[in-house]
Amino acid sequence: MTATHAPAAASTSPRVRFNIFEHLSGRMRLVPVLASLLLVWLFFWVQQTAFLSPRNLTNLVMQTVVVATLALGLVLVLLVAEIDLSVAALSGAAAVIAGRLATDQGWSPVLACVVALAFGVLWGLMQGTIVRYGAPSFIVTLGGSLALGGILLWLLPDAGQISLANSPLRFIAGAYLDRSVGWALALAVIVGYGVNCWTQFRARRRVGLDASVPMHLVLPVATVAVGTLVAVYVLNSYRGVPVVVAILMALLVSLSYLSTQTRWGLRIYAVGGNREAAQRAGIPVTRTLLWCFAAAGFFAALGGIFAASRLLGVSNQSGGGSLLLEAIAAAVIGGTSLFGGRGTVWSALLGALVIGSISNGMDLLGYPTEAKLAATGAILVLATLSDVVISRGSLRWPRQ
């Protein structure tokens, strides 16, 4: 009688392969974005040392806020596998509404901003309602963008612009926090993000998913802590943390929690991952879509108010130019998938920083506008290709 020997470790312990695409599609998706941002900063700092000065970094942050705010709303729409091409035009229309109410009508600046934000939410709900009946969001929001351009021109006075130089609205982008308040804000961001990571870590452990203390707790919290403390230190070295930056960070921390720790966030990722399966599981797909389009409208209107306050006025160019391109590029470059279901709200900030850093650095070096647009377009194409590769999980050319 002969003994049969099984191959060593062939049937007892399966061979585990490291698949980089699986890691890049999860939390590690932001790592290439951070590395790209650091490389961009290093390149421009070598070319012009003033690039990393507190004054220029403060200007960079102020330039980034508007794009990041619009991209934040776009991220939510992209997560449910839709697109909103009207966010830039909506920001201009909301800005002219707030400007006319605060200047010509003599309304309180707070009430004028509330009305503008409400207009953004209602416009987003209207577009989301049309999309829910099966109309392509690309066409619906493109048409909405054209209509909003007409509304902007209709609401503008005969002079073609509204000056906010003497309006209280100018203080929104011109106000800075006291240095001690800036440090308190940094501490609140770090603690809030740490609590969010700890909650996610415990949830993964509870359901039996892989939960590593170094990868899911120490590394992300340490990265955010270092980045936040350095940012506040640099901003405090000039004039302090701008109020609009504080508002944006508060929104990011809040949305980060809502999108990862609440039923609302779970529904967004489920709808974007597989809409039909989500509907069969009892998830209210229609309501989720409406919420995302409404949120995109809110952030578009908020970004328009920020832009009007920073530029001290509204004109027929508000919400135009390359703003839509930059907002979409920021969301995609930051790591949000165009195919839905993958991404994080922090990608709006990181992508906007990449776009803003390239534009700011080229301005310092004296590059023309066409060079900046070409660079932004090339980076957007590369980010889209990387998203396709990561989503497919392979570098192989697809078979016909």
Q: What does the pLDDT profile of the chain (400 residues) look like in tens digits?
A: 444 444 444 443 344 343 434 444 445 566 777 888 888 899 899 988 889 999 999 999 998 999 999 999 999 999 998 999 999 999 999 999 999 999 888 888 999 999 999 999 999 999 999 998 888 999 999 999 999 999 999 998 887 888 888 888 888 888 899 999 999 989 988 988 888 888 888 888 887 777 778 877 888 888 889 988 998 999 999 989 999 999 998 898 889 888 888 888 889 999 988 888 888 888 898 999 999 999 999 999 999 999 999 988 888 888 888 889 889 988 988 888 888 888 888 889 988 998 899 889 888 888 887 887 788 778 777 767 766 666 555 445 555 4
pLDDT of residue 210: 76
- The pTM assigned to this predicted structure is 0.85
Q: What is the model's pLDDT at position 396?
A: 52
Q: Is residue 105 part of a domain?
A: yes
The answer to whether residues 252 and 317 belong to one domain is: yes
DSSP for 116-183, written as a single string: HHHHHHHHHHHHHHHHHTT--HHHHHHHHHHHHHHHHHHHS-TTSEEE-TTSGGGHHHH-B--HHHHH
In this structure, the answer to whether residues 137 and 211 fall within a common structural domain is no
- Residue 321: which of 307, 332, 331 has the closest Cα? 307
pLDDT at 15: 40
Residue written as tokens 């009946």?
A: 133
Residue 176, beta-bridge partner list: 242
> Is residue 171 domain-shared with residue 202, that is, in the same domain?
no
Please give the DSSP secondary-structure letter assigned to residue 2.
Answer: P
Report how far apart, in Å, the C-alpha atoms of 368 and of each of 52, 66, 277, 318, 397 are: 21, 22, 49, 21, 37
19 within a domain of the structure (yes/no): no
Q: Does 130 lie in the same domain as 80?
A: yes
Query: What is the C-alpha separation between 279 and 136, in angstroms, rounded?
Result: 19
- 340: region left, alpha or beta (phi > 0 left; psi from -120 to 50 alpha): left
For residues 164 and 236, state if they share a domain.
Answer: no
Position 15 in a domain: no
In this structure, are strands 161-163 and 313-315 parallel, antiparallel, or unpaired? antiparallel
- Euclidean distance between CA atoms 334 and 317, whole angstroms: 27
Query: Tokens at residue 161, please?
Result: 């612009």
Domain total of the chain: 2
Report the first-to-last Cα separation within the chain, whole angstroms. 54
**Residue range of the domain that includes 203:** 176-241
In CATH, what number is assigned to the domain containing residue 305? 1.10.3470
One domain for residues 45 and 124:
yes
Nearest Cα neighbor of 186 from 219, 230, 223, 217 is 230
What is the per-residue pLDDT for 19? Answer: 43
Contact predicate 139/306, CB 8 Å: no
Are 156 and 180 found together in one domain? no
103 and 230, same domain (yes or no): no
Which tokens go with 172? Answer: 């929104």
- Is residue 157 located within the same domain as residue 206? no
Residues 6 or more apart in contact with residue 392 via CB below 8 angstroms = 21, 398
In a domain, 390, yes or no: no
Q: What is the pLDDT of residue 388?
A: 66
Q: For the residues of 34-84, what is the DSSP string, one character each?
A: HHHHHHHHHHHHHH-GGGGSHHHHHHHHHHHHHHHHHHHHHHHHHHTT---
Q: Please, are residues 75 and 328 in contact by the beta-carbon 8 Å criterion? A: no
pLDDT at 316: 86
Q: Are residues 363 and 319 in the same domain?
A: yes
Say if residue 190 is in the same domain as residue 258: no
On whether residue 376 sits in a domain, the answer given is yes
Which contacts (CB < 8 Å, 24+ apart) does range 283-291 have?
Answer: 286/132, 288/80, 288/264, 289/80, 289/82, 289/128, 289/131, 289/132, 290/125, 290/128, 290/129, 290/132, 291/264
**pLDDT value for 4:** 43
Assess contact for 295 and 73: CB atoms under 8 A.
yes
Tell me what pLDDT residue 28 has. 58
Q: Are residues 111 and 209 in the same domain?
A: no
Query: What pLDDT is stored for residue 308 in this prediction?
Result: 92
